Structure 1
Amino acid sequence: MEKRVYTISETAQVFQVSTSFIRKLIYSGQIPVIKLGSRRLIPASAIEEILASSREVKN
């Protein structure tokens, strides 16, 4: 089964940035998040969109 959501830590690893940078992007509304109690989870679709848009900019 493919992952459908990522933690802030996992998202930071995907983009090779710090968790605090990911949190800034979340709080500024640039990355959508699912709130589950005190947890914040990033949908895999949001990560895929960001990666796809960065590929478009490079091409």
Structure 2
Amino acid sequence: MYRHGHLGITLLILAPISYALVQNGQFVIAGLLVFGVFIIEPLLDITIEYPDSHTVV
């Protein structure tokens, strides 16, 4: 999957979780969650650079 796909899936999953946290007044946890996910999210694209990283059965 390419970067735009990863970002879209990340936002789709992260939005309701962060919304629930903010509604409960847990702003710091919501901010750390968003920060952590957007730090980890680009690491998934490293497999595009290596052609033999995906195994097709």
Please say whether Structure 1 and Structure 2 have the same fold, judged by a TM-score greater than 0.5.
Answer: no
Q: Greater relative contact order: 1 or 2 (C-alpha under 8 angstroms, separation 6 or more)?
A: 2
Choose 1 or 2 for highest CA Rg: 2
**Structure (1 or 2) with the greater strand fraction:** 1
Q: What TM-score do the two structures reach when normalised by structure 2? A: 0.33
Q: What TM-score do the two structures reach when normalised by structure 1? A: 0.32
**Structure (1 or 2) with the greater helix fraction:** 2
